Structure 1
């Protein structure tokens, strides 16, 4: 633990970094808070997240598009936009900005914070 404040927008990887950066900020029973930094990544074709817990996401910087299974269009997210994704609601990252890092705050609520399940489309 540190006694100095930490900044969620400090130490971001540069655009074009090959992998997303996921950092757990706080973990407690039934709760996990992460900072996720995307630098142009998207879910691979046919890949869907199907998580056993609710996930609330907030875009702090950058831009993204999320696809929720069964919806006809992507959800467009920019700074300040947030969304609750209920447990087992299949979703995927359709796009993140390659020009500047997209910084997400993800709050996972509910049982089993350790696992994320990927499935192929039915």
Structure 2
């Protein structure tokens, strides 16, 4: 399997409610969307989710992490934590792609080995 290309962050936006500042002042919450150039693998999603939990911390400054086809969305009450998390995503893209490639190769080899092992139980064809 060829190495997985690292994702690139294409756009980071803060989603606003129609009432913008007034709504934020009541709820003290902003919604952030990070758009990438490709879909994340499940392996990358797991590692990003663990990092998210770490940055959210005991104060629960970030929540509701959701993965879309080519985007990550979350809610935050702390701009600093949100910035550090997005920075993590940007700076670890290559590392996450390498780890995902290793895991995907391992899974591919396991499945091929399993298929080969199970074939010996098939009835012979004539």
Q: What is the TM-score when the length of structure 2 is the normalising length?
A: 0.31
The structure number with the bigger radius of gyration is 2
Q: What is the TM-score when the length of structure 1 is the normalising length?
A: 0.32
Which structure carries more relative contact order (alpha carbon 8 Å, separation 6+)?
1
